[in-house]
Structure 1
């Protein structure tokens, strides 16, 4: 942990600790001369988290090189950190990115302005939550599907629904082996997610998906991938996927599909972009 990280850690924790009213946790403010700093004291944090005196002070001072992840999570919950602050807390504390989301609600919602953002895109675009439940999409995305009927869960549609296997050309070679590992990776950080667990159960029960799952493929990121697809209106073609994550919703994803019609690749792939 660098001195800069220690300073950032101390600032983050002090500011959030100062926002918590001790009386809301059963502590009484003293009317006598003494400590007048706002918020919880360091000792009160230890009491609330059932830790020995001095435990929290070690964290806030930066004297704990690699603090216990469980304690960090308890502190984050007590201080009502959001997901971005939870990531910052773990990084400043020296453990890197957190092992998973802070709450079960994490990755299940995005700011409403995202709908306006994808409505302004000319390519098919959509946003799913951390369980691949569809949150938002634009009209171009709806045009991909017969009758404009979009799937409610894109992972289930890609792997298990007959329409998905028909629309995703070369499903067994170009799609499923690259999609199944994404589900496995999501479960590694969200093992209690009921939607993901149901998907896992159904994938393992499916005679075509189960062998792919058991093969242990490791491809987990669609960003930049190009795959064949059958557009409901424009016919066979290829989509190049641009994948991004809304910063306030870890695990959620925004996908932009750049579609090129034609049974064969007839377009030139754009080279990678770099700052000049």
Structure 2
């Protein structure tokens, strides 16, 4: 039996179907806890199909097809967005993949072992201490290896062993959420990738990152030909338009640093830049 119809390899019980699981996961969500959703006048608890479609950036018809169990080439990006919106655990995300596309999620970007080992309790406490500002840690190839609670609130994709650069260039929603995407984000990011590639020419993760982004984004290929080099974006002011802020633009100051004890890690804090009262 096809795993998309409920069967799981290894002799495990079939369990609930994909439509049953999705309906259950929708109904357990509290729409009042999700910024930007209109909840007045609702007759039932949980998220509607329309809510989920809006939050994942697809049409209601497209999401409805998935919830009816229709087989299609659902992308990993869409399934990960859906996992974030529905607040799925790792086990539930695994079940979603198996039932939707017939196989478990792949680890598209695995943090390097050396960098992951450097992510210790002390560094995690530092990230947590940055609240309410989002803070996270990546390895040289921008694979997420640590983050605090506000980071996941602002950027839900960070919870799934994500890669900062792949999300920025290969996920369509990034162009809406990173305001002035090409000039303020894409160009500096590609300059940083070129800088790290020059300083770590044998790093296979960086090489693969470059290949993936240039293969998946025509705009990135055009910008890459400018041969711009950027060491870091520490102190730069950028704007975000995230679902967490209900579509309101938020200015952030990017604080970038590396621990003295390790050249494998990159620590980023997004400090919200609030206008002073006398600026009004």
TM-score of the aligned structures, taking structure 1 as reference length: 0.53
Deviations 1:127-179 (A, max 9, x none): 11111110110011111135875661112112222232221011011111111
Give the corresponding residue for 2:118: 110
**CA deviation map 1:170-196 (0-9, x unaligned):** 101111111101001111122222221
Aligned to 1:236: 249
Task: Identify the residue that residue 217 of structure 1 maps to in structure 2.
Answer: 228
Deviation at 1:248, TM superposition (A): 2.3
Unaligned runs of 5+ in 2: 1-111
Trace 1:1-276 onto structure 2 (pairs within 5 A). Answer: 107-112=115-120, 113-122=122-131, 123-145=133-155, 149=159, 152-205=162-215, 206-234=217-245, 235-260=248-273, 266-267=275-276
Deviation at 1:197, TM superposition (A): 1.2
Structure 1 residues 137 and 146: CA distance shift in structure 2, 3 A:
closer
Query: Could you tell me whether the CA contact under 8 Å between 2:136 and 2:268 is conserved in 1?
Result: yes
Q: Where do 4+ consecutive residues of structure 1 move more than 4 Å?
A: 104-108, 146-151
Alpha-carbon distance between aligned partners in 2 of 1:148 and 1:106, rounded to the nearest angstrom: 20
Looking at structure 1, the residues matched to 260 and 156 of structure 2 have their Cα atoms a distance apart, in angstroms, of: 32
Offset of residue 126 of structure 1: 0.5
Q: Aligned partners of 1:204 and 1:146: how far apart in 2?
A: 25
Secondary structure in structure 2 of the residue aligned to 1:209: helix
Q: Distance in 1 between matches of 2:242 and 2:273?
A: 10
Q: Unpaired runs of 5+ in structure 1?
A: 1-103, 269-276
The answer to whether the 8 Å contact 1:106/1:250 transfers is no
Structure ID, larger Rg = 1
CA RMSD between the two structures = 2.3
TM-score (norm 2): 0.52
Q: Which has the higher helix share?
A: 2
